[in-house]
Amino acid sequence: MNNKWIQNLNNKKLIGRYLKQNNIKRVSIYGLGDIAHNLFNELNNLDIKVDSFICSSLDTIESDIAENVLIVDFNSLDRINSDLIIITPIYEFENIRKKLKLLGCETKIESLENIIQMCS
């Protein structure tokens, strides 16, 4: 995935442009690691609003990933206001998507890996 993402960046096939073309203006990012941070930076540079970061538990947060961006856990999903949730831990995508849906999340959910492929 990372290699394809870098190829897309080098070829100016940016995630933010893809989102804009699909009328997505506000996103939430599931994850707080390096990939989530890199995604935040790419979107922030293209004026896509990152509404929030989602993690499984606020007890484990040691991140200062982005100032002024809400960080929520599964108990606070009603606080997000996004057109799309992008899941960054690709190997856990299906489990995370199911969990979010079981908790009543109605926002569209997509894996970062799939978005990168669609940008190609």
Question: Would the pLDDT of 74 be above 60?
Answer: yes
State which amino acid sits at residue 76.
Answer: S
CA atoms within 13 A of residue 14's CA, in its CB half-sphere: 15
State which amino acid sits at residue 9.
Answer: L
pLDDT in tens, 15-51: 989 999 999 999 999 998 889 999 999 998 888 999 9
Count helices and strands (H / E) in the chain: 5, 5
HEC letters along 21-84: HCCCCEEEEECCCHHHHHHHHHHHHCCCEEEEEECCCHHHCCCCCCCCCEEECHHHHHHCCCCE
* CATH, domain range 2-119: 3.40.50.720
Domain residue ranges in the chain: 2-119
